[in-house]
Amino acid sequence: MGSITCRSSSNVASPSLRHASQARDQPASSSAKNPRSGPVRAKGVLDTGDVRKGLDLDFVPRLSFGEDCLCIAGALTSACLAFVLQGARRPALSLLCGCVVGVTWRFLIIEKAHSRLLCPPEELAEKNSSFSEVKGVLVHYKKVGSGAKEKPVIHCSHGFGASLYSWSAVQDKLSEGLQTLVVAHDTPGFGLTHRPRDLCDFTLRKNADISLGLVDLVREEGGADESLSSIWMGHSMGCVSAGYSAVACPDQTSSLVFVAPAIPAASVKGASAPPSSGAVRLPKRGGIVSKLALLLLKPFALIVLRALVRSKAFWEKSLAIAFYNKAKVDDDTVDGYRKAKLVQRWDIGILMFAFAQLSEFGKTNQYLLHHLVAMGKEGKKIIIIHGENDNIVPVSNSRKLASLIPNSELHVIPKCGHNPQEEVPDTFVDILTKQL
């Protein structure tokens, strides 16, 4: 699976409120500056506690009186200068010029205040966090359970906008119920995984490659045989990564678990037929398009993205759509999802991930579905779990997938939304402990 360098143990503790505040005002630790040397640990850590309690997630920058005056002075000066340069004509245009300068200046001051809040991912790590370089990316992951050497490792891939936090309600229970090792990692672009520079590192195929490497790593740490099979589990968009991982090593795949899979169900003919040559050529063409789109749209997209993600109301409304039981959308859940907005380059990461998907959009779905059908015919167990009241990915899509993929089992959970593993964790675990 390529070279994999272990970066840390699983004993990264959480910073307190005081230390988290200090971290924002101090330069990054040496391990963050040089991620290729030594174990990765959070700076200013405690032995216990939840990192989310020490984060200023509701920070709203406020301009001082002096900064307000500076913006106004800049606007007035620009307006007067424009008025003079135009020969005392077009006063409205001069006024508009001044307003643009004032608003831009104010925006830059606010962005600078926000940037001071950001810190390296290691400083946001929790006590059971680990960081390892896998396939050239410094990956944040959590593993639970000692893992019986003869049992398959379960790997979990999260959905869009989420992180490994979305598996926290079931990771321990699955490990205990199945007596095996359960590992989850943050997809590049989300959570605490470092944001790479190359656009191709943000594709779901790359994430699948990381999943394979990470499973090899945790097996090696546990002294297990690398030839043992794995169980690939994904939620929503993460099902695509889980599917790609299984396709890459079908002989070492025990089962697949798709939770509210965001895999569009094609026709039986499309799923059974071999992928067309266009599906192979598409990633290269899509890569060119995505790079051009990123270059042209990046400034405007960043402004919109920052405004949305920094808003607690945005997360509350989005999660309320995803959850059937609105009472589950409490402060802890909302904070668990939005914590990553304090990571350096979080906005660039999401943007690069979104544009990277253009390189895989369209016919590549036919490629994945074709191989899933083939795996089902070969006897691989494929479990599909879906909330009956999912407002994001309709349950009808999973019903169609189950009809297309041989040897698949569909479990529809009533009174449940898009996130069964969070909304009804006990029911979710009960299904899997009986089926796996």
Considering Cα of 309, then 311, then 314, then 319, what sign does the dihedral take? positive
Which pLDDT value is given to residue 41? 35
Residue with tokens 């406020």: 62
Q: First vs last Cα of the chain: how many Å apart?
A: 26
- How far, in Å, CA of 102 to CA of 96, rounded? 10
Specify the amino acid at residue 357.
Answer: Q
Computed on alpha carbons and rounded to an integer, the radius of gyration of the chain in Å comes to: 24
Residue with tokens 């979080």: 346
Which pLDDT value is given to residue 290? 62
Q: Which of 14, 65, 71 is nearest to 42 (CA)?
A: 14
- Residue 84's Cβ-count burial label (10 Å; 0-12, 13-18, 19+) is exposed
Which pLDDT value is given to residue 269? 54
CB 354: neighbour CB atoms within 10 A?
18
What is the DSSP pairing of strand 253-259 with strand 230-235? parallel
- How far, in Å, CA of 262 to CA of 240, rounded? 7
Contact 309, 347 (CB under 8 A): yes
Which pLDDT value is given to residue 140? 98
Dihedral pair phi/psi, residue 252, rounded to 5°? -105, 20
- How far, in Å, CA of 193 to CA of 157, rounded? 13
Q: Which of 55, 51, 49, 41 is nearest to 11 (CA)?
A: 41
Which pLDDT value is given to residue 399? 97
- Read off the pTM: 0.81
Contact 180, 148 (CB under 8 A): yes
391: which DSSP letter?
S
Which pLDDT value is given to residue 250? 93
- How far, in Å, CA of 416 to CA of 146, rounded? 31
Half-sphere exposure of 254 (CA within 13 A, CB side): 14
Domains and their CATH numbers in the chain: 65-117 (no CATH), 130-276+361-435 (3.40.50.1820)
Contact 320, 314 (CB under 8 A): no
Q: Along the 436 residues of the chain, how does pLDDT read in single tens digits?
A: 433 333 333 333 333 323 333 333 333 333 333 333 333 433 323 232 344 445 688 888 888 999 999 999 999 999 899 888 887 788 899 999 999 999 999 999 999 999 998 999 999 999 899 999 999 999 999 999 875 667 899 999 999 999 999 999 999 999 999 999 999 999 999 999 999 999 899 999 999 999 999 999 998 887 666 667 899 999 999 999 999 999 999 999 999 999 999 999 875 455 555 544 444 444 455 556 666 766 778 888 999 999 999 999 999 999 999 999 999 999 999 999 999 999 999 999 999 999 888 777 655 678 899 999 999 999 999 999 999 999 999 999 999 999 999 999 999 999 999 999 999 999 999 999 999 9
Residue with tokens 């009809």: 403
Q: Which of 89, 66, 67, 91 is nearest to 79 (CA)?
A: 91
Contact 283, 364 (CB under 8 A): yes
Which pLDDT value is given to residue 224? 66
324: which DSSP letter?
S
Encoded tokens for 38: 């030594």
